[in-house]
Amino acid sequence: MISKEDEIILKILCDQEFDEKTFKDFEYQIFTKAKRYGVSTQIFSELKKRKIWSEIFYFDYLLNLKKIKNNFETLKFLSKSGFDFVLLKGFSVAQKYYGDLRIRHAGDIDLLIKESDKDKFLNFLFESGFSTIPLSKIKEKIGHAIQFKNGNISVGVHTWLCDRLFVDIKYEDVETEYTKIKFKNEYIKVKTLSSEWDIIELSCHLFQHAFPLRIFLDISKVILNSHQNAVKLIHIAEKFKVVNFLLIGVLGAVKVFGLKEPNWLGEFKKSTVLYSRLVSSFVSSPFFLFRLRDYLFMIPYQDKIFALSVALRFPFRKMSILLPDFPKEFIKRLKGEYITTN
């Protein structure tokens, strides 16, 4: 069973009818959970369409708007640096698939750069007033990004597309396009991933964070608001051995938001699709999303182990490199010494 608040959150996001009086009765609880799930600004947008006013969601929207403005100014500054980078997730997804930066919650500015540019780009950020957020020994050895902060601005510098425990994909592997990121009367033209690579990256990101609702929502927006070249998408998934990631991510988003299944599913082996369908039904169920998933983060690294098991991915060589650091890092994570996201 899920709570009344969780039920209303799903109904709002899926554009279904819900009891407005019940919403008002549980408004604070709904907001608290929507904020934790990373979907509060999307819910505010849906409430506006239905002419339902919520002061707490509006206040959250204004705070998000301020962060969007700060991120936009930072991105404008970074785009003038002369460095070649690809804008990932956040702003890119909001602009291309939500159609408006203000609808999606604003997180970090995530950039994918060439390994050969890493040292120069990091020095540029240091000289611009940014400082690094401490990484665990495990992330230092096999991490995919370095996190920088300057006041309330956070920039993730990726030298790999996503968590390397799951897959190794670098700048030279991806296909890109140019996108105009718009805010009020201004725009910045930046390099972003192609729609096929967006859905691959989001599906991998879904596993990295153990299947949060907000990433299922992002995947659903890509499916609805872009055209993916099926041949290209299948080729990427098979080349980088992320077929399970793609199928579980897409089928999960289809299930949560009631979308039509893509035709290209028939191009994969029936046994692979059947496995992905079974797993996606579980990880996209309200019981998992709103109840069971929280328990994965009670013990450090339990979320990663679960996601790797679901992906049928067992990186023994990488794990062996990390084993000497695991006991100390486990204790540090247990004490809350590192910033983690779920």
Say if strands 145-150 and 131-132 run parallel, antiparallel, or are unpaired: antiparallel
Distances (CA, A) of 281 to 3, 163, 186, 254, 331: 19, 24, 42, 10, 34
pTM comes to 0.95
Top CATH class, 67-193? alpha beta
> Helix, strand or coil for residue 87?
strand
**CA separation for the pair 166, 308 (Å, rounded):** 7
In the chain, what are the domain boundaries? 67-193, 195-342
Give the residue from 143, 13, 23, 158 showing the smallest Cα distance to 85: 158
Q: How far is CA 161 from the centre of its chain?
A: 12
User: DSSP for 123-153?
Assistant: HHHHHTT-EEPP--HHHHHH-SEEEEEETTE
Determine contact, residues 200/236, Cβ cutoff 8 Å. yes
Each residue's pLDDT tens digit, 4-63 = 999 999 999 999 999 899 999 999 999 999 999 999 999 999 999 999 999 999 999 999
pLDDT at residue 270, rounded to an integer: 93
Token output for 138:
């495990």
Overall average pLDDT of the 270-282 stretch:
96
Instruction: Check residue 156 and give its pLDDT.
Output: 94
User: How much is the pLDDT for 141?
Assistant: 80
Q: pLDDT tens digits, residue range 295-332?
A: 999 999 999 999 999 999 989 898 888 888 888 888 87
Check residue 319 and give its pLDDT: 85
pLDDT at 339 over 70: no
Q: For 265-281, what is the mean pLDDT?
A: 94
Check whether 340 has a pLDDT greater than 70: no
- pLDDT at position 290 over 70: yes
pLDDT digits (tens, 9 = 90+) for 99-158: 999 999 988 999 999 999 999 999 999 999 999 988 888 888 888 899 999 998 999 999
pLDDT value of position 28: 95
Model pLDDT, residue 137: 83
SS3 337: coil
pLDDT digit string, tens, across residues 188-224: 999 999 999 999 999 999 999 999 999 999 999 999 9
Q: Kindly tell me if the per-residue pLDDT of 336 is higher than 90.
A: no
